[in-house]
Amino acid sequence: MSNIFSRLIEKSRKRSPWVYRINAGSCNGCDIEVAPCFSPRYDGEQIGALLQGSPKHADILLISGPITLRTKDMVKDVYDQIPSPKAVIALGSCPATGNLFHDSPTIVGSAEAVIPVDLYVPGCPPRPQAILEAIQTAASLLEKGETRSQKEVTNG
């Protein structure tokens, strides 16, 4: 019975990934592209994706913007609040490299400096279709147990 229950949870994770979004210092360009992903135009719910109001209910973290001195602790805290297994998607050039803000004295750098990132979506900003594709890919990684957080648990 518990085996059936575990399989049901694994399938749900792939078919209905719940998503939480944080802005770590973004110009809002990436966030503006996330909004239509969950609107009738791009309709993320067609792939089961649902935006959540709390990290405690999420499977996938979307992060936009470069990590700043002011947001780095918040980013780590939000990541820790998401129950395992979890996946992280970095949106746009900022969380990948710091982008045009990289040499600012208030910038820590890429998201990788604070949390393990599973997928990067290129662009400044990325298009909604690319964001939804990344959510589907992250859901598949979760189902296969291949996210960084899952591998870290397996490797001890």
Q: Which residues bind ligand SF4 (CB under 6 A)?
A: 26-27, 29-30, 64-65, 92-94, 99, 124-125
Residue 112: CB minimum distance to ligand SF4, A: 15
Residue 91: CB minimum distance to ligand SF4, A: 7
Residue 29: CB minimum distance to ligand SF4, A: 3
Q: What gap in Å lies between CA 118 and CA 134, rounded to an integer?
A: 10
Nearer to ligand SF4 (CB atom), residue 28 or residue 39: 28
Paired with 67 in beta bridges are 109
Beta strands 67-68; 107-109: pairing state:
antiparallel
Residue 80: is it exposed, middle or buried by C-beta count within 10 angstroms (0-12/13-18/19+)? exposed
Residues 6+ apart with CB under 8 A from 82: 20, 55, 56, 58, 59, 61
Distances (CA, A) of 104 to 30, 67, 69, 100, 101: 20, 11, 11, 9, 5
Residue 108: CB minimum distance to ligand SF4, A: 14
State the DSSP code for 61: E
Nearer to ligand SF4 (CB atom), residue 91 or residue 142: 91
Q: Which residue is nearest to ligand SF4 (CB)?
A: 29
Nearer to ligand SF4 (CB atom), residue 61 or residue 142: 61
Residue 62: CB minimum distance to ligand SF4, A: 12
Nearer to ligand SF4 (CB atom), residue 117 or residue 142: 117
Paired with 117 in beta bridges are none
Nearer to ligand SF4 (CB atom), residue 93 or residue 149: 93
